[in-house]
Structure 1
């Protein structure tokens, strides 16, 4: 396996604000059923065994997981069997995980206590309780993964998903709830800084945070988030948030880079045209566009061939004109995979 890693396609890296190098393409570690409305929506970690074996065999070094995905133990065992026992070293891997996901709404199957952080629970008004909860979740991550440290630790969500929109509360109530949410976020981030300062995470960041959520952290943080993992695809580019992150030296990670099947981005005429021109598939064109935009990309594939192909994107480059055309595909929130998860409604 170590030889295969050395023979893997060369992947460019980016440099985080603290100097840590992060591979620009990572393997997404969430496996589940969310596309068939006739079936329950839930994580299916049993699908990860094959996916991880394939990813390791074709040379992925960067893996993006989370406590709620329930794939960390499988990932750790896969590293042991297919990487470490074959001569691979810890520094050959870039392991990212996330803590602090609230219980999900109906159908999201994110209810398990211990894996989720319920911001609506009044216990989280106590900063020390909040910090202890984050530390406990993180220590479970290390135990599941079977490693002594992670390369990147993210706060999975900025707050509760159990919102009902601005029309459900008065402006006074909303402001009060936002103040409380900001206080909890700052306590969560204080724990993240402790983990970072104890060298248990080489870098720290957030996920699904908007400008307001980030500004809450900026009020008191000693270490700024180095990464914000958000939904980005050619059809959904949250430009104001992306610009805010870049101005604050926060690297953008793109989840769901190919959009959902409903958006149709994989059949877009421009993307198909560029794929034909460069002798690539549409996924490779999208990944290359994103890496040229200095975004980390987190594709996932159940196919070994596609998994390797997602790494083989650095033997061509889009022109400035083509990059501008790709930016022009943006359709805004209507093309979001989860348009109901309006970030500004999260207190």
Structure 2
């Protein structure tokens, strides 16, 4: 497995499995089977309401905890809960996570970030991150953090490469983890002629070419699926490399256009919503 080195020296796999939208039973199965296939990065969140299932999948896989890079996120309703980190670890059935994010710049997000910094200093989180912090939120956080985050998780794909944000990330050596890596139910990205042609050239699907583009951009990618064959295909991207010319061709696709447009009203809704966590 290829890895990247974070700004605190920790190594993170470049490909993982995401569990967004997966029901608990599907998350448990996908995590278990992914780990058996050779995945070592698992991403979940309080808001996905499947952390217990992810923990069960990890234990059922037979893979040692030390060989897994486990990522999760605190939801805004938990930012002021002083027990939020311990409760998250309890749901996952682990003593620490390898990466702990705050999920949204909603509610008292600075209190949430202080929770991350505390967990980092106590060894309950080996690295920390921010999810969906762009623009003014990112700028404000830079003035207030005590520990520089290792990761940001945001929408990124060949139509939207986060060019402006990456200038800030490069300054602090913060790594990007992509969501919507293949577009969001929009086939136009995977039907782009450059990906069809490169797929034929390398004996890969357009989706596999796009995922490889992410890793060569320096991004970590976490496509999710409950289909075991798709999970296997998403990992099968590390046996070829795109050339500089091919990466330059793909760069021409950047429209600076995202799929997801968050509003202030949605942030207020996020702050008010509380996940109905799974029972033990």
Superposition pairs of residues 75-114 of structure 1, within 5 angstroms = 75-83=54-62, 88-101=63-76
Could you list the per-position Cα deviations for residues 256-299 of structure 1 after superposition, in whole angstroms to 9, with x for gaps in the alignment?
10011235211111111111111111111011111111100011
Partner residue of 2:234 out of 280, 305, 310: 310
User: What's the counterpart of residue 31 of structure 1?
Assistant: 21
Partner residue of 2:85 out of 114, 138, 155: 138
Ranges of 4+ aligned residues in structure 1 off by more than 3 Å: none
> How far is 1:145 from its partner?
0.7
Could you list the per-position Cα deviations for residues 206-231 of structure 1 after superposition, in whole angstroms to 9, with x for gaps in the alignment?
00001421222222322111100000
Matched, 1:267 2:191: yes
Partner residue of 1:47 out of 26, 44, 61: 26
User: What's the counterpart of residue 299 of structure 1?
Assistant: 223
Matched, 1:149 2:96: yes
Could you list the per-position Cα deviations for residues 61-99 of structure 1 after superposition, in whole angstroms to 9, with x for gaps in the alignment?
10000011011101111111222xxxx322110100000
Q: Is the CA contact 1:28–1:298 (under 8 Å) kept in the aligned structure 2?
A: yes
User: What's the counterpart of residue 282 of structure 1?
Assistant: 206
> How far is 1:56 from its partner?
2.1
CA distance in 2, matches of 1:294, 1:223: 22
Look up the SS of the partner of 1:219 in the other structure.
helix
Look up the SS of the partner of 2:52 in the other structure.
helix
Q: Please report the RMSD computed on the Cα atoms of aligned residues, expressed in angstroms.
A: 2.0
Task: Tell me which of the two structures has the higher relative contact order, counting C-alpha pairs closer than 8 angstroms and 6 or more residues apart.
Answer: 2
CA distance in 1, matches of 2:104, 2:238: 32
Look up the SS of the partner of 1:200 in the other structure.
coil
> How far is 1:332 from its partner?
2.4
TM-score normalized by the length of structure 1: 0.73
CA distance in 1, matches of 2:256, 2:89: 37
Q: Is the CA contact 1:100–1:156 (under 8 Å) kept in the aligned structure 2?
A: yes
Look up the SS of the partner of 2:144 in the other structure.
coil
Partner residue of 1:227 out of 147, 151, 167: 151
Partner residue of 1:327 out of 241, 248, 251: 251
Matched, 1:64 2:43: yes
Look up the SS of the partner of 2:25 in the other structure.
helix
Aligned residues: 268
CA distance in 1, matches of 2:103, 2:219: 18
Look up the SS of the partner of 1:96 in the other structure.
strand
> How far is 1:137 from its partner?
2.3
CA distance in 2, matches of 1:186, 1:69: 22
User: What's the counterpart of residue 217 of structure 1?
Assistant: 141
TM-score normalized by the length of structure 2: 0.89
User: What's the counterpart of residue 3 of structure 1?
Assistant: none
Aligned CA distance change for structure 1 residues 286 and 81 (closer, same or farther; 3 Å) = same
Look up the SS of the partner of 2:190 in the other structure.
helix
Matched, 1:192 2:171: no
Q: Is the CA contact 1:235–1:263 (under 8 Å) kept in the aligned structure 2?
A: no
